[in-house]
Amino acid sequence: MTATKRNPVDMQQPLIDITRRAASVIMDIYNTDFEVRGKSDDSPVTEADEKAEAVIIEALRELAPEIPIIAEEAVAAGKTEQIAERFWLVDPLDGTREFINRNGEFTVNIALIENGQPILGVVYAPAIDRLFAGCVGHGAQVIDAGEVRDIQIRDIPAEGLTVVASRSHGDPEALKQFLGDQKVAEVRNAGSSLKICLVAAGEADLYPRLGRTMEWDIAAGHAVLRAAGGRLTNLERQDLGYGKTGFENPHFLAFGAL
């Protein structure tokens, strides 16, 4: 079967299973005195990032050998596969700083990209046992401690926006200037791609990211958000594309009913 004929929704449950397997490896290391090293861009990396990525890559090759894989640690090591119409984007441990700080807000992220857009994604936060999954055209779900619930974006409440901001990379002054005179009820801090998923679940309304991110950081959350009826765009409200040279994103907005 070729990649163009494979139905992405049929891969959602296998993707959830793969994500959970990688998370098990991560949690085994989380409960030890693990070593933290620095990469060439000064970002931290641990044994958990590398071992989880190895588990994911092996499983994705078995699931869909025809689909290329772009994975964070492989790219950092200079291993980049040729992108096709469809390709996987993998961040085995998003929120490494949250992992290091042991606050629980780190995630495993796998997304399927088709024609530059995320169409299937799974985001799992194993320390809090919260998993988000979505396939565009088939809806999005959250699994909280085994309980499955459909999710979608919400209308903005009368009391104003709930805005989510990065716990480790936030710039409160830039956020304040960006929001201007918009009516804001609450600003919540969260780690990793959970911020995008909170918008998808109708628990927040807006996530402005006014800093550097890479495609694998956000693709899975973006897929969940799209499946839940939301959008992720650049600051000019143009949909963000994937497969860009260097895989670096511009500043962006993830939002529901703006």
pLDDT attached to residue 44 = 67
For residue 230, report the phi and psi dihedrals to the nearest 5 degrees.
Answer: -100, -175
pLDDT attached to residue 86 = 96
User: Rounded to 5 degrees, what angle do the CA atoms 160, 195, 246 make?
Assistant: 125
Tell me if residue 143 falls in helix, strand or coil: strand
Low-confidence residues of the chain, pLDDT below 70? 1-5, 39-42, 44, 167-171
Strand order of the β-sheet with 69-71 is 69-71, 86-94, 107-114, 117-125, 130-135, 139-144, 147-151
pLDDT attached to residue 169 = 57
Residue pair 73/92 in contact (Cβ under 8 Å)? The answer is yes
Residue pair 139/227 in contact (Cβ under 8 Å)? The answer is yes
Alpha-carbon distance values, 146 to 25, 36, 110, 130 (Å)? 19, 32, 20, 9
Q: What is the 3-state secondary structure (H, E, C) of 195-232?
A: HHHHHHCCCCCEEEECCCEEHHHHHHHHHHHHHCCCEE
User: Rounded to 5 degrees, what angle do the CA atoms 91, 92, 95 make?
Assistant: 75
pTM: 0.92
pLDDT attached to residue 104 = 84
Q: What is the pLDDT of residues 58-112, one digit of tens each?
A: 999 999 999 999 999 999 889 999 998 999 999 999 987 888 888 888 999 999 9
pLDDT attached to residue 2 = 44
